[in-house]
Amino acid sequence: MAVGGSIPGFLFVSCTLSPIAYNSEALKILTFPNAADKIKRLDVFLTDKVRSGLVDRQSRESLDFVKEFKSGMRRYLCRAFRLDGHNNGTGPAIAITLERHSSGASALLEISKQFDFTERERQTIELLLQGLTSKQIAARMNISPNTVKAFLRLVMVKMGVSTRSGIVGKIVGPQM
């Protein structure tokens, strides 16, 4: 479902990351701050944008995608799905969605005040809400995975829950 009434960007690319199809919102997100009709070779531009902005360069896999994409001041959750049976057997096509990432931020701010979270606890929760593992959170925050687990335990105690999914449920649950 779209966040705050915004429409998700939707993009199909080939196994070589060339665009096959996309919606107007994906164009707005990926071409910002330019207008898509002002770009001469849109297909080349989009291929380059997918390669430079959406492919996770830190992944060991050859074709993993980032979890978050920033366009201007807006952040988008990026999800990629491999689709078999396309391109006449030359490789899988990939469907990519870009959803505006903002609803959790306001809920997280309110929850942070309600439970008196420290800044580092709030950062940990924000990354948890993005679906990151303790190791990934630790890397982003430049701390050890054990410190992340300690922050999560403190948050669980403050919120009265016993699992990571309990934290997420208390933050996201009321918005559904």
Q: Are 155 and 95 in contact (CB under 8 A)?
A: no
Considering the segment(s) 103-175 as one domain, its CATH architecture is Orthogonal Bundle (1.10)
pLDDT at 175: 47
pLDDT reported for residue 83: 85
Question: What is the value of pTM for the model shown?
Answer: 0.55
Domain coordinates in residue numbering, the chain: 9-100, 103-175
Residues 154-173 pLDDT 10s: 999 999 999 999 998 887 76
CATH of domain 9-100: 3.30.450
pLDDT per residue, tens digit, the chain (176 aa), is 444 446 889 999 998 899 999 999 999 999 999 988 999 999 999 999 999 999 888 767 667 888 888 888 788 889 898 887 655 556 778 999 998 865 556 677 778 888 999 999 999 998 998 889 999 999 999 999 999 999 999 999 999 999 999 998 887 765 43
Please, are residues 116 and 155 in contact by the beta-carbon 8 Å criterion? no
Please give the Cα distance from 28 to 127 (Å, whole number): 26
Q: Can you give the pLDDT at residue 56?
A: 84
Q: What is the pLDDT of residue 28?
A: 93
* pLDDT digit string, tens, across residues 53-67: 998 887 676 678 888
What is the full DSSP assignment across 112-165? HHHHT--HHHHHHHHHHHTT--HHHHHHHHTS-HHHHHHHHHHHHHHHT-SSHH
| Cα separation, 39 vs 60, whole angstroms | 32
Q: d(Cα 93, Cα 29) in Å, to the nearest integer?
A: 21
Phi, psi of 138 (to 5 degrees): -60, -45
Helix (H) or strand (E) holding 83: strand 74-83
